[in-house]
Amino acid sequence: MKEKLIYTLLGEGYAEYAFLETYLKRVFEIEKPNIQLVSSRQMKPSGGKSSSSVILSKIKDHYITSFINRNDVKLFIAGIDLDESDFEDNMPKYNAKIEEMKNKLGNLYSKFEDKTILFVPIQAIDYWILYQQKSENKISNNSIESRNKDEIKTRLYGDSNANQIKIEKISLKIATKANFEELAKQSKSFKLFHNQVKSFIETL
């Protein structure tokens, strides 16, 4: 019988949940096949336009629910979009967003840091997903983050205002076949997330 690992995932929209839940499942199937991942489903995807502020306003409450009110959640993952490019080597805009989430978590972060993964896709998670859309022509590493979101969403979903069903269907399809090691080379912000996941798995 597989050991259950319950995790909380907070993301801005439909693509985050479809893509990242599949990503986690695939990575754990390879690295820890004896562990069954189970989402706590504390927050449902909204797909809203202001969901970054929603995440920041609710992140501490969900953190407390995960680690204080419950004793079965072993991993907390939360992310917000950068909503702009960040091409500097030390990624100051990315780091500022990470610090913003840490500040919202307050002193609790240091207590549960080893069970916490924070991520910030440069621009949005749709950029991560587009890198692995095999129907696209080969995309150079870190090359699309300067493009605006409407263009990326149209290339990925066929419509800059695609509905939930289409976003989830395409995100899930790509996540199921994605090469995550390749994606870590294509996107700096995904690499930082991916490395955190691998480091957490090593502690199990």
The band of 44, judged by pLDDT with boundaries at 50, 70 and 90, is confident
Query: Where in the sequence is the domain holding 192, given as residue range(s)?
Result: 3-202
Residue 112 has pLDDT above 60, yes or no: yes
pLDDT digits (tens, 9 = 90+) for 119-153: 999 999 999 999 999 755 667 777 899 999 999 99
Task: For residue 120, give the amino acid letter.
Answer: V
pTM: 0.95
Q: Are 19 and 128 in contact (CB under 8 A)?
A: yes
**β-sheet with 3-10: strand ranges across:** 35-39, 3-10, 73-79, 116-119
Residue whose entry in the numeric block shows the structure tokens 């289409």: 166
For residue 37, CA distances in Å to 24, 34, 124, 132 come to 8, 10, 25, 24
| DSSP code of residue 68 | I
Tens digits of residue pLDDT in 47-98: 655 589 999 999 999 999 999 999 999 999 999 999 999 989 999 999 999 9
Distance of CA 14 to the CA centre of its chain: 11
End-to-end CA distance of the chain: 17
Supply the pLDDT for residue 45.
72
Q: What is the number of structural domains in the chain?
A: 1
What pLDDT is attached to residue 140?
74
Residue 183: its pLDDT value, please? 97
